[in-house]
Amino acid sequence: MSDQLPAKDVDVLLAAAVAAPSMHNTQPWRFEVEGHVIDVYLDGSRTLPAEDPSGRAMRIAAGAATFNLRCAAASLGYGAWFGLAPYPGEEPDLLARIVLEPTAARDEELTDLARYIPYRHTDRQPSDAVPIAEDVRVALMQAAYAEGAGLTWLGEDDVRSVLDLVLDTDLREIHDWHRRAERAHWVGGRSTDEPQPATGPRPPGVSRSVDGVPSSALGPRSASYPAVVRDLATRPDDRQRAERTFERHPDLAVLSTDFDEPADQVAAGAALERVLLTATRVGVSASFLNQPLEYDDLRRTVQRLTGRPGHADMIIRFAHNHPHAATPRRPLPDFVRKQP
């Protein structure tokens, strides 16, 4: 076996990793490749200090990227051994270490899920009124469980409670210009390949570059309030986009973990991506109604709605759609350091 992973395999692995979801598409990760080891780090220059002060969302994103790495590794015929947040005390930014070895017994499930990585996009379009089938619900619960997390489907009353919490967060946010300014930096504008600074204010009217959420991915505005899909728009032209009627009874589920340490949050990200790819495979898409989870007290309320102990990490709304609104990603050399 060679000392190094073949360069073409590294490209496939990392392209899969960066296709993972991240809050506001910040893509808050960087990778170091040495021999057969890939380390996944947080990129401290791509934080969301107002909306994600603890870095939980960043760790979830990195966990999702790690899961994609494992799927791509399986599809290339590697077995992957991994540790999540292996040294939280000494190396808090090192979120996962993956060791790849060629194997004759690759993981067939991960190999299959790898095929759906390019087709998973956050879907902010209205759904039909058809509930998610029982067997799909069970499959998605099993996907979360396989990565050490839980997925709880919410009944009608609990969905209404979540929508009340969404209303509550909107009221809290009215006077919080830090949060609104942060979102204005990351959300809106046309997607282009034009490079832009990772931080600092973006002048009004400037196009989105290879990060953030472009206007094209925002979906329509909801005709009713509170909306079942989070409206991320801050710019005046985005706020005036077309209005549509969304489903009245969204299928919502809460992804949670038993504990809330960094490794648990990375595991939550892996579970999230396993759930999302499993859903994509059966033609079910997802969006997120996460705003209550950005406030500690409301996050506890959401977890209580699940009826079990633990820590809520994502509120996921599932729909029968095939989303096409892909968001851009930065070019690979931006976040990779290969050892000589």
Ligand X SMILES: Cc1cc2nc3c(=O)[nH]c(=O)nc-3n(C[C@H](O)[C@H](O)[C@H](O)COP(=O)(O)O)c2cc1C
Binding of residue 291 to ligand X (CB under 6 A): yes
Q: Could you give the angle at the alpha carbon of 168 between the alpha carbons of 162 and 171, nearest 5°?
A: 150
Task: Return the number of the residue (46 or 121) whose C-beta is nearest ligand X.
Answer: 121
The CB-of-144 to ligand X minimum distance in angstroms stands at 15
Residue 82 backbone dihedrals phi, psi, to 5 degrees: -140, 155
Cα distance between residue 78 and residue 75, in whole Å: 7
Binding-site member from 5, 25, 211, 312 for ligand X (CB under 6 A): 25
Shortest distance, position 300 Cβ to ligand X, whole Å:
18
Query: Collapsing DSSP states into helix, strand and coil, what is residue 69?
Result: helix
Determine contact, residues 328/189, Cβ cutoff 8 Å: no
Q: Which two tokens stand for residue 33?
A: 């490749």
Q: Does 279 bind ligand X (CB under 6 A)?
A: no
- If one counts every other C-beta atom within 10 angstroms of the C-beta of residue 163, the result is 19
Contact between 287 and ligand X per CB under 6 A: yes
Closest distance to ligand X from the beta carbon of 314 (Å):
6
In this chain, which of 95, 98, 162, 232 binds ligand X, going by CB under 6 A?
232
- Strands 336-338 and 29-34, sheet pairing: parallel
Return d(Cα 298, Cα 104) in angstroms, integer: 47
When asked if residue 84 is in the footprint of ligand X (CB under 6 A), the reply is no
* Among residues 230, 299, 311, 317, the one that binds ligand X under rule CB under 6 A: 230
Question: Considering only residues 300-329, where is the footprint of ligand X by CB under 6 A?
Answer: 327
Kindly determine how many residues on this chain lie close enough to bind ligand X according to the rule CB under 6 A: 19
- Closest separation between CB of residue 293 and ligand X, Å? 8
The stretch among 54-62, 161-169, 170-178, 188-196 that binds ligand X (CB under 6 A) is 54-62
Counting contacts by CB under 6 A, is residue 213 touching ligand X? yes
Sheet containing 311-319, strands listed edge to edge, beginning at the edge strand earlier in sequence: 150-153, 251-257, 311-319, 285-288
